[in-house]
Amino acid sequence: MRIKRAVYDLILQSFLDEILEESGGIIGAEDGIVTQFVHDCGLQGHEHCVYIPDTERLNRMINEWSQTDIQFVGLVHSHPPMGNKLSVGDLKYITSIMKCCELSVFYFPIVIPKISMTVYRACYQDEKLTVDVEKTELV
Q: What is the pLDDT of residue 7?
A: 97
Specify the CATH architecture of the domain 2-138: 3-Layer(aba) Sandwich (3.40)
| The amino acid at 27 | I
Indicate the average pLDDT of the chain.
89
Span 15-59, pLDDT tens digits: 876 555 678 999 999 999 999 999 998 776 555 567 788 999 999
Structural contact between residues 27 and 109, judged by C-beta atoms closer than 8 angstroms: yes
Residue boundaries of the structural domains of the chain: 2-138
Helices (H) and strands (E) in the chain, counts: 3, 9
> At a CB cut-off of 8 Å and minimum separation 6, what does 135 contact?
1, 119
Percent of the chain with pLDDT over 90: 59
Distance CA 11, CA 25 (A): 9
Q: What is the pLDDT of residue 43?
A: 76
Span 66-89, pLDDT tens digits: 999 999 999 999 888 777 889 888
Backbone phi and psi for residue 67, each to the nearest 5 degrees, phi listed first = -75, -15
CA distances 68 to 32, 36, 48, 51, Å, are 15, 12, 36, 28
* Chain centroid, CA 129 distance in Å: 17
What phi-psi label fits residue 66: left (phi over 0), alpha (psi between -120 and 50 degrees) or beta? Answer: alpha
